[in-house]
Amino acid sequence: MTETTHVHTRGSDGVVRLPDLAARLLEEAHAHNSQRAAETITSGPSMRATVIALVAGAELAEHESPPAATLQVLVGETRLSAAGGVWLARDGEIVAIPPERHALRAITDAVVLLTVALH
């Protein structure tokens, strides 16, 4: 999915500072041909959390859904679409991703926190 991959960026205190990470990833997305960048901030046997930055107009094309997932918008505005509907979400909003093929498009420059159940 992503061309930029970093894993587990944390401060010296072990805390991930989402505003700082969002700003860095958005800067990387603007510099990359794909117009996106991502970093997995935690991963374990049952779940994974990834921060994804998308430049306005960039899209994650339609893809399969994990067993359960949420999409929290940290910055900007997004459009999540699936056969079951369309959800617009912006700063501070969270959407449950439907258990069906779906796509994500950045309406404005956007950064999202994707949390996925792996089983």
* pLDDT tens-place string over residues 1-13: 433 444 446 666 7
pLDDT at 22: 97
- Please name the residues in contact with 107: beta carbons below 8 A apart, sequence gap of 6 or more: 56, 76, 77, 78, 79, 88
pLDDT at 7: 45
Give strand pairing partners of 57: none
CATH code of 53's domain = 2.60.120.10
pLDDT at 117: 94
Going across the sheet that includes 36-43, the strands are 5-7, 36-43, 47-54, 110-117, 68-75, 94-96
pLDDT, tens digit (0-9, with 9 covering 90-100), for 19-46: 999 999 999 999 999 999 999 999 999 9
pLDDT, tens digit (0-9, with 9 covering 90-100), for 77-115: 999 999 989 999 999 999 999 999 999 999 999 999 999
pLDDT at 5: 41
pLDDT at 4: 40
- Please choose, from the candidates 64, 55, 65, the residue with its C-alpha nearest in 3D space to the C-alpha of residue 31: 55
Q: How far apart are CA 107 and CA 79, in angstroms?
A: 7
Which structural domain, as residue segments, surrounds residue 46?
5-117
Q: How many domains does the chain have?
A: 1
Q: Amino acid identity of 89? A: A
How far does the chain reach from its first CA to its final CA, in angstroms?
20
Chain-centroid distance, C-alpha 110: 9
> Is residue 36 within 8 Å of residue 29, measured between CB atoms?
yes
Average pLDDT, stretch 55-74?
Answer: 94
What predicted TM-score, i.e. pTM, was given to this entire model? 0.88
